[in-house]
Amino acid sequence: MALEPNRPAISAVALVKNFGKTRALDGFDLEVAPGTVLGLLGPNGAGKTTAVRIFTTLLEPDSGHAEVAGLDCVRDAHRLRTQIGLAGQYAAVDELLTGRENLEMVGRLYRLTRARARERAIELLEQFGLADAANRTARTYSGGMRRRLDLAASLIVTPPVLFLDEPTTGLDPRSRLSMWDLIEKLRDGGTTLLLTTQYLEEADFLADRIAVIDHGRTIAVGTADELKRQVGGERIELTLARGSDLDAAAAALVPHVDGSVRIEAETRRLSAAAEGGARRLADVVRDFDAGGISIEDLAVRRPTLDDVFLTLTGHGAEETGEAEEAA
């Protein structure tokens, strides 16, 4: 079944999902156009995985409406499963089966014939650089190989819509790059992709559009550039030698930056959005010298997920997370 060009490939309207007293999704909205890649960006516990699990029919929402490929995620769940692939952060492969057996099993559960499932498994192993490891059990695979096998399993029938839940979390840099490469190829092949991630640069690199989710709601949607513009592009960040200078320093910084100055008293750090930050630094340093404020460290940097969160929500990404790394 081909996706209808004028209908969103993935849509969610006012999804709510509670787990006991925890509200994982709290009126979550989303729309993804066919053939595009959406990066769902948010800290741990923001509701990303819950949303993916609803779209892939693993969970039913308490209220609201979710649709994938024009099919209702609750009512048409069975038909919907023929249209989607899912690969997750917990690579769901059978440790005691070989790479080839894993793919053959999934192929046959997609109701391919035995011969076709075998053919397809061999194709995918080749394509994902696992041909040499095809006859080894998956428990001998590295983390990166497992993820690739998991991703390959989700592509057995080349589904029109693919969900990747934190596909690179916990991977070493080399495996991450090879995963990015695979995802780009899928994107170029016209698959509609929803990708969750905690990493801004990942969403930036892979996604056409980014939706930022926090406390179970979509708080911003746009291209990476649009979001960064909201955050204020480059930022000046400086650390003072003495904590007693904080207020004077903040006042001295205001004329040189865009918007408000963020003050972190414990670390004696000030930061603020400043487009073209490098050119403005000289002026900042001159004013600080004139005011007798000594600077310990000074930098211009690109906005991070933390900045996006601070700007959009007023709190850092880490505070909402469940004690894992956030950005």
Residues that bind another protein (CB under 8 A): 19, 53, 56-60, 78-79, 81-82, 84-86, 88, 90-97, 101, 105-106, 108-113, 137, 153, 157-158
How far apart, in whole angstroms, are the C-alpha atoms of residue 98 and residue 55?
29
Token pair recorded at residue 34: 């066919």
Q: Is the dihedral of CA 201, 207, 210, 211 positive or negative?
A: negative
Of 78 and 174, CB closest to another protein: 78
Rounded to a whole number of angstroms, the minimum distance from the CB of residue 14 to another protein is 20
CA distance readout (Å), 117 to 121, 163, 225, 301 = 6, 22, 42, 49
Using DSSP's 3-state secondary structure scheme, residue 283 falls into helix
DSSP assignment letter at 43 = -
How far apart, in whole angstroms, are the C-alpha atoms of residue 226 and residue 215?
22
How far apart, in whole angstroms, are the C-alpha atoms of residue 220 and residue 307?
13
Of 96 and 278, CB closest to another protein: 96
CA distance readout (Å), 93 to 89, 97, 127, 163, 314 = 11, 8, 18, 16, 40
Rounded to a whole number of angstroms, the minimum distance from the CB of residue 88 to another protein is 6
Rounded to a whole number of angstroms, the minimum distance from the CB of residue 107 to another protein is 9
Of 60 and 201, CB closest to another protein: 60
Rounded to a whole number of angstroms, the minimum distance from the CB of residue 317 to another protein is 25
Of 158 and 230, CB closest to another protein: 158
Rounded to a whole number of angstroms, the minimum distance from the CB of residue 177 to another protein is 24
How far apart, in whole angstroms, are the C-alpha atoms of residue 65 and residue 252?
50
Rounded to a whole number of angstroms, the minimum distance from the CB of residue 116 to another protein is 9
Of 16 and 312, CB closest to another protein: 16
Of 165 and 306, CB closest to another protein: 165
Q: Which of 202, 214, 233 is nearest to 307 (CA)?
A: 233
